[in-house]
């Protein structure tokens, strides 16, 4: 094997390993976003046109979908981090 072949082989190897490294970084970011729902919570998604969660009008932006979970204190909007207390949400 001559010097040119060794250099091109080494460059190809570095290119492949570099690509795998970038792919793993991208996959890690995707998995981190998928874990937004806290442990032991049943998270849901509400989109425009769906029925209101718990039969109450949540004062979030009505034109986009929202990932959320609720507990005995109120509704937690995962995407924005906002919390809506049951006391502040009227029955409909």
In tens, the pLDDT along 19-50 reads: 434 344 444 443 334 447 888 888 999 999 99
* In the chain, % of residues over pLDDT 70: 61
User: Model pTM?
Assistant: 0.56
The DSSP H or E segment spanning 10 is: helix 3-34
Going from N- to C-terminal start, the domains of the chain cover 1-35, 44-88
CB 89 within 8 A of CB 57: yes
Residues in Cβ contact with 52 at an 8 Å cutoff, skipping those fewer than 6 apart:
46, 58, 92
């Amino acid at each position: 094997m001559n010097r040119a072949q060794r250099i091109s082989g080494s460059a190809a190897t570095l290119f492949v390993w570099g690509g795998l490294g970038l792919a793993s970084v991208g996959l890690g970011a995707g998995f981190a976003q998928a874990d937004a729902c806290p442990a032991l919570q049943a998270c849901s998604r509400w989109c425009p046109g769906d029925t209101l969660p718990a039969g109450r009008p949540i004062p979030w932006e009505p034109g986009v979908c929202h990932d959320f979970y609720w507990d005995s204190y109120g509704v937690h909007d995962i995407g924005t981090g906002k919390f809506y207390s049951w006391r502040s949400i009227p029955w409909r």
